[in-house]
Amino acid sequence: MIDSKLKRKQIIVCLVLTVLLFLAVTWSITSGEYKMDLSAYLKTLIGQGEFKDNLILMEFRMPRMLITLLAGMALSMSGAIIQSITKNPLAESGILGINAGGGFAIAVFIVIGQVNPNTFIYVLPLISAAGGILTALLIFLFSYNKGKGISPVNMVLIGVGLSAALSGGSITMMRKFNEDQAEFIAAWMAGNIWGDEWPFVLAFLPWILIIIPFLFFKSNSLNIINTNDQTAKSLGVNLDKERLILLIASVILSSVAVAVVGSIGFIGLMGPHIAKSFVGPRHQLFLPIALLTGAFLLVVADTVGQTVLPIGTIPAGIVVAIIGAPYFLYLMYKTNAV
């Protein structure tokens, strides 16, 4: 029962975004300290480049680019799902404190864990996911009201509180760190894309390949959950169970992303909202657009952060927040106005 015009619009938006994404990727890869020109880039891409270009592209810039793309997609997808299951347009892993929970777990791990440099990158997403899930379950537990179920508003309020507490906890723990560790956590909290080598891609990709298709498969249930609780129940959705499964899946998704790119908020807010503004709230339609939008936003933010200053860089998380924070305020204004 989807308007065929809407379907056509979705395809057009996807195509345009794909082109924009390709342009953003090209801009990102060709800029930087070593300026690769366009023809060299394209040649290298099809395997005809010079040794030096090949090295820079394949060893340095490509893995970082892939990480950025995948993280953008993961954060946007995760935000979309969390918004749908809490029916709160302002919910997102950053705002709910799930990112901070992952960060806190990582900080704890650095202080008390046995950091083995060989397995560190593979363990990190697991640690972050465990922290994220624990935080999310705490939010669920605290916002659960017997008889009434889970209140979306309570959920966000508790998330904001937890987020502040956990970030504070991470900062407090910095005193136990040596200089490198403290610098790492500080950069992590600012959302600095630090995982920029192939092993990080390998540590990250399997999660994406499992969870994103799983969430796509759940589109139909998500549509129903996104109406209202009574309708969802009356249509036969096992609401509490489905919500828990979807929450855990989306929390893992954002947590593994922030494990490698640092605490980046707002992508999960902007990606889905921009996507819905094109094709409406049906998940089958807007999720693909949300993925592309998230990837595009993060690539652009990272590239801006890398190039805008004559010396040094700005973490992608900060650049995203510069656009994201006003957007959040705008959404809050809109949500209240309705």
Residues that bind another protein (CB under 8 A): 1-3, 5-6, 87, 146-147, 216-217, 219-220, 223-224, 226-228, 230-231, 233-238, 276, 280-282, 284, 338
Distance in Å, CB of 69 to another protein, minimum: 25
Our CB check for another protein shows the closer of 140 and 177 to be 140
DSSP string, 112-139: HS---TTTHHHHHHHHHHHHHHHHHHHH
- Torsion, Cα 303 307 312 318, to 10 degrees, reads -40
The DSSP letter of residue 60 is I
* Alpha helices (runs of H) in 46-146, residue ranges in sequence order: 51-55, 62-86, 98-112, 120-143
Distance in Å, CB of 26 to another protein, minimum: 33
Our CB check for another protein shows the closer of 232 and 300 to be 232
Our CB check for another protein shows the closer of 194 and 216 to be 216
Our CB check for another protein shows the closer of 86 and 99 to be 86
315: tokens are 């973490």
Our CB check for another protein shows the closer of 38 and 235 to be 235
Distance in Å, CB of 85 to another protein, minimum: 12
Distance in Å, CB of 145 to another protein, minimum: 9
In angstroms, the CA 231 to CA 238 distance is: 11
Residue 144 host element (H or E):
strand 144-145
In angstroms, the CA 31 to CA 7 distance is: 36
Our CB check for another protein shows the closer of 318 and 331 to be 331
- Residue type (1 letter), 159: G
Distance in Å, CB of 273 to another protein, minimum: 11
Distance in Å, CB of 131 to another protein, minimum: 30
The CB density around residue 49, as the number of other CB atoms within 10 Å, is: 20
Q: What is the CA radius of gyration of the chain?
A: 20
